[in-house]
């Protein structure tokens, strides 16, 4: 069973939550010690209310990478707020800083407040947003593969730093973007950062099944979650991929009533590959997670880490490199 814990650092309603770096780092280390697969930092550049922590997600992730060793680190970053080259580059760099433990959570839902802060006062239609996001994600994954894993030679005496044959242009020209490439960051230790997608509508399912490494879904009931899981795995197979190449995690809120029984039942019935435990970003929630939820998961022998390497891909049982 794969377990992620997600923290929405942009969620508090206009008051300081006490989530300074030390607090968040301590939490990430607790989650690491408990054997969780990854921490997902959700963020939004939607403006307006003061966020619950003073950080932007990718910079926070870079800092967390230096104070943790094994846990995966995933940041949610908007396609509307970035250019694909810059975003691909930031995550490729984070992946090297973390020795191959990073993922990007790309949401397919537009934040209604965001366009107004990113020079689109007229907004962007949901349909355009979707087509743009799909093109964007394709570019990012393409840029992540611009350098072969053995491209760097470091041959001082021969004067050959890299092999130019092993560096590849992207030369993308599409509806929304033109990007020549390559990225000026080396190949990731896990080949490419893990692509997590969330916020899926019906129209996104085939795209997600074709592109994603991890899909986060939110379903109310055990039955509807199972149906969505089976549907995504069918679509993955139909896209020519091994169904195991995509991990489907169900997002659940961890209130006082965290139903560990339900999690075990859901997993046991092959209705998911694991769970994403969503926490409110405040100190009591983090303390509750560490003091109550983690021991409960441990008591049940969950999660069951079964990995052969230290990259996030290896942890999740995904294909790809493991050269930390």
Nearer to another protein by Cβ, of 173 and 299: the residue is 173
Residue 74 in the binding site for another protein (CB under 8 A): no
In the region spanning residues 17 to 56, those forming contacts with another protein, defined by CB under 8 A, are 21, 25, 45-51, 54-56
* Piece of the chain touching another protein by CB under 8 A; list 155-163, 226-234, 294-302, 314-322: 155-163
- Nearest approach, Cβ of residue 265 and another protein (Å): 39
280 contacts: CB under 8 Å, gap ≥ 6: 8, 11
* Contact indicator for 302, 273 with CB cutoff of 8 Å: no
- Nearest approach, Cβ of residue 115 and another protein (Å): 9
Round to whole Å and give the CA distance between 87 and 286.
Answer: 29
Nearer to another protein by Cβ, of 174 and 243: the residue is 174
Cis amide leading into 182 (omega within 30): yes
Give the one residue of 162, 226, 241, 262 binding another protein; rule: CB under 8 A: 162
Round to whole Å and give the CA distance between 251 and 259.
Answer: 13
- Nearest approach, Cβ of residue 282 and another protein (Å): 16
Round to whole Å and give the CA distance between 197 and 204.
Answer: 10
Residue 234 in the binding site for another protein (CB under 8 A): no
Give the one residue of 29, 33, 96, 124 binding another protein; rule: CB under 8 A: 96
- Among 260, 243, 255, which residue's Cα sits nearest to residue 296? 260
SS3 state of residue 137: helix
* Contact indicator for 54, 125 with CB cutoff of 8 Å: no
Residue 133 in the binding site for another protein (CB under 8 A): no
Separation in Å, CA 275 to CA 32, 167, 253, 269: 16, 38, 10, 14
For the stretch 187-203, what's the b/e string if a residue is b when 16 or more beta carbons lie within 10 angstroms of its beta carbon?
Answer: bbbbbbbbbbbbbbeee
Give the one residue of 13, 112, 173, 306 binding another protein; rule: CB under 8 A: 173
Residue 221 in the binding site for another protein (CB under 8 A): no
* Piece of the chain touching another protein by CB under 8 A; list 30-38, 159-167, 240-248, 258-266: 159-167
- Nearest approach, Cβ of residue 21 and another protein (Å): 6
Residue 121 in the binding site for another protein (CB under 8 A): yes
- Nearest approach, Cβ of residue 52 and another protein (Å): 10
Nearer to another protein by Cβ, of 21 and 307: the residue is 21
Number of Cβ within 10 Å of residue 106's Cβ equals 23
Residue 191 in the binding site for another protein (CB under 8 A): no
Residue 150 in the binding site for another protein (CB under 8 A): no
Residues of this chain that bind another protein (CB under 8 A): 10, 16, 21, 25, 45-51, 54-56, 58-63, 65-67, 81-83, 85-86, 89-90, 92-94, 96-97, 113, 116-121, 147, 152, 154, 156-157, 159-164, 167, 173, 177-182, 184-186
């Amino acid at each position: 069973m794969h377990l992620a814990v997600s923290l929405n650092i942009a969620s508090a309603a206009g008051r300081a939550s006490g989530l300074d770096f030390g607090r968040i780092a301590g939490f990430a280390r607790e989650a690491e010690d408990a054997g969780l697969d990854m921490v997902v930092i959700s963020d939004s550049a939607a403006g307006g209310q003061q966020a619950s922590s003073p950080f932007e997600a990718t910079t926070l992730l870079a800092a967390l990478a230096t104070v943790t060793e094994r846990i995966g680190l995933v940041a949610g970053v908007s396609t509307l707020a970035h250019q694909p080259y810059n975003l691909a580059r930031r995550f490729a760099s984070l992946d090297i800083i973390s020795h191959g433990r990073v993922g990007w959570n790309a949401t397919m839902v537009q934040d209604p407040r965001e366009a107004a802060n990113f020079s689109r006062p007229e907004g962007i239609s949901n349909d355009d947003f979707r087509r743009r996001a799909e093109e964007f994600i394709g570019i990012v994954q393409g840029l992540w593969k611009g350098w072969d894993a053995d491209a760097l030679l470091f041959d001082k005496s021969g004067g050959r730093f890299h092999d130019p044959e092993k560096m590849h242009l992207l030369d993308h020209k599409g509806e929304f973007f033109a990007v020549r490439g390559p990225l000026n960051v080396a190949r990731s230790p896990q080949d490419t950062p893990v692509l997590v997608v969330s916020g899926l509508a019906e129209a996104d399912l085939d795209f997600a099944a074709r592109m994603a490494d991890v899909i986060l879904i939110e379903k109310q009931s055990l039955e509807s979650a199972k149906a969505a899981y089976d549907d995504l795995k069918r679509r993955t197979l139909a896209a020519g991929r091994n169904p195991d190449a995509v991990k489907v995690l169900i997002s659940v809120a961890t209130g006082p009533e965290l139903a560990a029984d339900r999690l075990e039942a859901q997993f046991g019935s092959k209705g998911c590959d694991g769970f994403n435990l969503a926490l409110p970003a405040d100190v009591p929630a983090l303390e509750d997670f560490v003091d109550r939820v983690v021991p409960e998961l441990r008591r049940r022998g969950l999660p069951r880490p079964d990995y052969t390497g230290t990259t996030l891909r290896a942890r999740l049982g995904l294909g790809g490199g493991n050269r930390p």
